[in-house]
Amino acid sequence: MTLTAVERSKPTSSNGAWERVCATSDLEPEWGEVALLGARQVAVVKLAEDEVYAVSHTDPHTGANVMARGIVGSRGDRPTLASPLHKEVYDLGTGECFTDPSLFLQSFRTRVVGGFVEVELAE
């Protein structure tokens, strides 16, 4: 499923606006989906009902929009997403690349409110 409908919520922090993406029930555990937030493609990954991550859908190494199809895993206690193209492994929370320190995957703050996933986008 590709998520396309986004409901804009009022900004609740000085850092940016929160965008409602989907219901948590719309997401499969440990599987990425794509949300179109304005002109930005964001990969959304649910690990548990209250643990959802959002990162850029664009692979930092190739520029291809493929990260939602990456491999979800972990390194120690850190949740990770590996690029489906060249298998670079990124920390879902920070965007740090474990396999190539010169690469960085943009990550976004998320929250679950009333069963819905919201992503904070910088203004």
The pLDDT tens digits of the residues spanning 8-66 come to: 333 344 468 999 999 999 999 999 999 999 899 999 999 998 899 999 999 999 999 99
pLDDT of 6 above 60: no
User: Does 18 fall in a domain?
Assistant: yes
pLDDT for the residue 105: 98
Residue 26 lies in a domain: yes
Domain containing 13 equals: 7-122
**CATH number of the domain enclosing 50:** 2.102.10.10
Within a domain: 85: yes
98 pairs with which residues across the strands? none
| Higher per-residue pLDDT: 31 or 123 | 31
Model confidence at 116, pLDDT cuts 50, 70, 90, reads very high
Mean per-residue pLDDT of the chain: 89
Q: Confirm whether 68 is domain-assigned.
A: yes
Our count of domains for the chain comes to 1
User: How far apart, in Å, are the Cα atoms of 35 and each of 7, 100, 116, 119?
Assistant: 11, 26, 13, 10
- Residue 1 in any domain: the answer is no
Q: Residue 77's closest CA among 66, 91, 88?
A: 91
Question: What percent of the chain lies above the pLDDT cut of 90?
Answer: 82
The pLDDT assigned to 123 comes to: 64
Q: Would you say residue 108 lies in a domain? A: yes
Residue 2 lies in a domain: no
Give the residue-averaged pLDDT of 77-96.
97
DSSP, collapsed to helix, strand or coil, labels residue 67 as: helix
